[in-house]
Every structure is written in C-alpha cells, then in structure tokens.
Amino acid sequence: MNNLQMSLAANATFSSISGLVLILMHQKISELFHLENSTVFWIIGIGLLLFSMTILLQIKKQNRNRVLLIIAQDLLWVVGSVLLLILKPFSISSFGNTAIGIVAVIVFIFAILQWKSLSSEKAVENR
C-alpha cells in the first residue's frame, strides 16, 4: 500500500466511524452540543458515510482528479468548521466548539497528507 492509499484509507476510516457515531448517537451528541434538534447530526453522519464510500473507491483506482475532489471536500469541511467557530451562528457548547476544532484539524491533516502523497505518486492516472 502506497502513501496515498494509506492516507485515503485513514480518511475513509475516520469518516466512516464519525458518520456512524453521529447517526447512532445523534441525540446524545445534540445534548453535548447544547442543541435541541439532533437531525443535523444524523444528516451529517449519512453524508460522511457516503463520502467515505467515494474515498474507498479511490484507494484502488487512485484517479488524480477524483482524489483532488476528495481533498477539496476535506478543505471545504475545514473552512466550514472555521466559519462555525468564528461566526458562531448557533449556541454551541464549549465541548461542541472544541470537538468541531479537533475534527477540523484532523481533516486538515488528511488533506495535507493526501496532497503530498498525490504530488509524489507518479502512477496516479489523470482520467
């Protein structure tokens, strides 16, 4: 397994686990975030499971453009998280803000690792 495959696998694993946790524990997470409506958590969870499936497809295929799309989506997640933390459009608890920040850092690390790996992989196709 090359570096790109390992970074994609780590991202897919993290996204899958996060998605499952958000779906299965959406009410508890909503309480921890001090939010009344838990719907957003299972919706994000479903999105993360779908995202992880697209990542899993690229572990074997390693299509350059599709990996770049995965990296772009990771970076959009980070930007969205930063905006949530700065603009504070919802009354999210300190725990919730900390969790958002930690996840954003992890996702940013995945984006960097995938970018560096993609840049160094010569065999990645550009279909």
Q: 34-85 pLDDT, tens per residue?
A: 999 999 999 999 999 999 999 999 999 999 999 999 999 999 999 999 999 9
Sequence-ordered strand ranges (E) for the chain? none
The answer to whether residue 125 sits within a structural domain is no
- Structural domain boundaries, residue 106: 3-119
For residue 33, give the DSSP letter. Answer: T
Whole-structure pTM value:
0.93
Handedness of CA 68, 69, 73, 76 (dihedral sign): positive
The answer to whether residue 124 sits within a structural domain is no
Count of structural domains, the chain:
1
% of the chain exceeding 70 in pLDDT = 95
Work out the average pLDDT over 22-26. Answer: 98
The answer to whether residue 127 sits within a structural domain is no
Nearest CA-CA partner of 59 in 11, 126, 24: 11
The answer to whether residue 29 sits within a structural domain is yes
Nearest CA-CA partner of 60 in 11, 102, 108, 8: 8
